[in-house]
Structure 1
């Protein structure tokens, strides 16, 4: 379901206030990364397959189609669902969380909300299990059509922890796995366990005894941290337990264990990890880091493939594009899967599946491209997200044909609720995002374009009326509250174009008031939009924003 003004109006009986909306004519995003300039040979594909903030991929096959879901944390709609016929070219077809009644993220930081969904397909039904962190706990959602509608969450109150997944055995039994605290008191920070319990599909609840399959990790003597993201799959009579280990940062890895019995005991592979980048030189060119959280699937030709998360860094530790979805083939050796041999770098270009399409392009999922929204459709494009769940209708496409009409709210980008801000993922280290808007007429209305990482780390390039003139300003929040870092007064104009450019840590902010592009501020610190500085688990986003000026917010929207 695509969310627009008409949909929101039907869900909320909230009156539209008198304050005039801000009109945006178009929004354009363009990326040009050096790593994406390398030509892709015939029969090959480009990594990541989903560039920009697409973490924690989980994959399932249904017939000749593949379906993939990602974490979305406190963004809405949540848990995007992608479809592919060849594992390389992906198209978003829906969201598991697409109705405000399903979940509520008010009061949460952006890196809370929905973590690490796992998707499975069984007997004509799609299943997604997930954890709504600080917003309900573990739950199950189902659909007969992966495009939706998906069911309301079915809560699983008897299990704690995170990262649940389902395994459907060939004897008709179903099992629920998840990460949770170990038995007794954890021995050290990051000491976790993988648990399993049988699951009743009819009642949609686990039952019977829970058992620890892994305590700590593959080598408990080394005090391994954050064993998580468990999946079980079966091949040639072996049950394989596939998990992430080491945390989702630079020490991230993927490990594998196997057993002849579903309840174990599980024997770890002697050549673990089967995927990591943690041992590679830190000064390598265009490094890919944080690799792990893999899910395996069998292709149409019998070859196995792994989807997993990783990040593209600059400056050693910074990544504004978040954790992205990568794809690599799996090589089987003596009954064990290996995603990538030790000391090998994750390739940006790799040989694709034998059944890969030779005619489709991977853009705008990855590679260098230009994407433009003319706001001339009756609903919002799937590329857009809200910051948390909207509680009132503040945008529409019907009142002004060919324009996005956005009603300013008193909520600013530092709110823990829902601001009038549309977010599109930053997918490139080098990019440009621009928009054209009708300059607000009402005093006290501010509008423009924002680059946002979370509620404490963002930039806002905005404009407001000042008598017969207009004031352009750049506001910055680097964790210490918003502050104005640049302003300029311009002659009054009906329309204005604004843009943000980024090149690794260098962000610049420009405008065109009818006399060509000029810079308001150049060389701003883009690292404050990087995950390692801002904290959390998400990537940067850009998009249009409108708000009521801080000095006029008392009593607004009430």
Structure 2
């Protein structure tokens, strides 16, 4: 099979996959973003479509106050006796949850808390008599004891009552590398296989596997462990781990997994964070042999356009710790998107920010932004009052990693301001702008080749406004500060629109991208 890599680009970490008949379903982590846990569908493992989200309404996750790094961690998607299951950690919030649905497009259940199984990266498997086993990594993100790690643990669970049926027992926890996590339990032939990630989710990430004759063990480790790792190699895809096995349409096997594509002269900065990749697997002497993960981008790049003509927002839009409908509407001013700020900014935990995962390492986003005119108090669209209502709005475009790492460009109707927030450091650049709607752009540019300090970064980010028909660059910023290694917040770049004051209207939004040349 000619498998594309990345398989699902951009912020799509911790993939889990299940095959049901001729269909494949894949879910990934979303942390503090909502809607949460996207579900993707494919029939060939090549072309994927997002068909919905597990978390699409209030109450399924306790997201409102969850700290950065918390939220939906590492879902496992499985199918058993006509029902789809997603086991997941609501980290630093509700804890271990199991969601169910008869249709993977949803609706999914409210999420059943599993008592007595405190950990992360929960897996579900069933033996021949229907007993459910939950295997997980013993990191406590609920009671505050997060500095201790209990290795890989397992319990039998009652998935109707929501409780463990026994005290957690320790099972095989790898070869001794740090942070054993991401367990998945499979039955193949005469053996049960326990596959885990270890080595940490950074450059030392790896996959190891063991087998035994019972789902509860004991398990014997593969002498060839780790069966997958990119550490200390020159491969363009690093941090490979957190894998899940699946049968391919041609009767073979593959592994979906997370990885990162670091850039710069020392390959030190990964702008898009952890993405979903795939690699072939063969079996020798009863053990899986995994091929190195090879870079194979889809040709031609791609793009997205939204003119906000539909009453419902496209499902690719996500927001931070609240659902988009809390502040975004395409019905208040039909044919436009309006965002209403509640006084929060991009520095706050719940900004009026509506974003999309950045999917390409070279990408441009743009939007036509109407913040109203502070002089006239009205908008200027076709000479009528607009959804800006008051005329003292401010908003624009932003690229965000978290509340302390973001670049933005905004207009208030008479001026345009570019801002950079990097941890506790902030800088801004302002100039006058014509009244009325203004086109804003953010360009992500690939770094130049060569050696020296100017070539260390992952990319350059230019913040622009189109004034009198010309693109004016207010700031050109180093992209390394919006990377996984610098921000360290588990997600990836999310680019989109925001309002920092009042109500702001957007006539359209566009993005286009490609891989570096």
- Name the TM tier (shorter chain): 0.7 to 0.9
Measured after TM superposition, the shift of residue 381 of structure 1 is: 0.7
In structure 2, what is the equivalent of residue 268 of structure 1? Answer: 221
In structure 1, what is the equivalent of residue 61 of structure 2? Answer: 103
Measured after TM superposition, the shift of residue 444 of structure 1 is: 4.2
Measured after TM superposition, the shift of residue 71 of structure 1 is: 0.2
Contact kept, 8 Å, 1:109 with 1:455, in 2: the verdict is no
Measured after TM superposition, the shift of residue 181 of structure 1 is: 5.5
Distance 1:404 1:391 in 2: 11
Which of 43, 50, 54 is the aligned partner of 2:12? 54
* Aligned structure 1 segments of 4 or more residues deviating by more than 6 angstroms: none
In structure 1, what is the equivalent of residue 366 of structure 2? Answer: 434
Return the TM-score normalized by structure 2.
Answer: 0.86
Distance 1:368 1:95 in 2: 25
Matched, 1:453 2:401: yes
Measured after TM superposition, the shift of residue 436 of structure 1 is: 0.8
Deviations 1:342-367 (A, max 9, x none): xx5x21239xxxxxxxxxxx6xxx96
Which of 463, 480, 494 is the aligned partner of 2:424? 480
Distance 1:304 1:170 in 2: 22
Q: 1:529 to 1:374 in 2, by over 3 A?
A: same
Distance 1:475 1:104 in 2: 31
Distance 1:263 1:116 in 2: 22
In structure 2, what is the equivalent of residue 496 of structure 1? Answer: 438
Q: Alignment partner of 1:44: what SS?
A: coil
Distance 2:15 2:102 in 1: 21
Which of 407, 412, 419 is the aligned partner of 2:351? 419
Measured after TM superposition, the shift of residue 476 of structure 1 is: 1.3
Which of 260, 273, 295 is the aligned partner of 1:348? 295
In structure 1, what is the equivalent of residue 412 of structure 2? Answer: 464
Contact kept, 8 Å, 1:495 with 1:513, in 2: the verdict is no
Measured after TM superposition, the shift of residue 403 of structure 1 is: 1.1
Contact kept, 8 Å, 2:180 with 2:199, in 1: the verdict is yes
Distance 2:81 2:10 in 1: 33
Q: What is the 5 A alignment of 1:13-92?
A: 44-92=2-50
Contact kept, 8 Å, 2:401 with 2:489, in 1: the verdict is no
Contact kept, 8 Å, 1:192 with 1:227, in 2: the verdict is no
In structure 2, what is the equivalent of residue 176 of structure 1? Answer: 134
Which of 69, 76, 93 is the aligned partner of 1:118? 76
Q: Alignment partner of 2:485: what SS?
A: helix
Distance 1:117 1:140 in 2: 9
Measured after TM superposition, the shift of residue 202 of structure 1 is: 3.5
In structure 2, what is the equivalent of residue 519 of structure 1? Answer: 473
Distance 1:390 1:219 in 2: 41
Which of 254, 265, 279 is the aligned partner of 2:207? 254
Q: Where in structure 2 are there 5+ consecutive unaligned residues?
A: 141-146, 374-389, 446-457, 503-517
Distance 2:88 2:221 in 1: 26
Measured after TM superposition, the shift of residue 297 of structure 1 is: 1.0
Matched, 1:301 2:250: yes
Deviations 1:18-76 (A, max 9, x none): xxxxxxxxxxxxxxxxxxxxxxxxx6232011000000000111111111100000000
Q: What is the 5 A alignment of 1:397-412?
A: 397-412=330-345
Q: Alignment partner of 2:486: what SS?
A: helix
In structure 2, what is the equivalent of residue 510 of structure 1? Answer: 464
Cα RMSD, aligned residues only: 2.0
Distance 2:189 2:45 in 1: 23
Which of 317, 320, 341 is the aligned partner of 1:387? 320
Measured after TM superposition, the shift of residue 84 of structure 1 is: 0.8
Distance 1:309 1:367 in 2: 23
In structure 1, what is the equivalent of residue 307 of structure 2? Answer: 374
Distance 2:167 2:482 in 1: 45
Distance 2:35 2:367 in 1: 23
In structure 2, what is the equivalent of residue 313 of structure 1? Answer: 262
Measured after TM superposition, the shift of residue 279 of structure 1 is: 2.5
Return the TM-score normalized by structure 1.
Answer: 0.80
Q: 1:367 to 1:68 in 2, by over 3 A?
A: farther
Q: Alignment partner of 1:329: what SS?
A: strand
Contact kept, 8 Å, 1:190 with 1:226, in 2: the verdict is no
Contact kept, 8 Å, 2:155 with 2:164, in 1: the verdict is yes
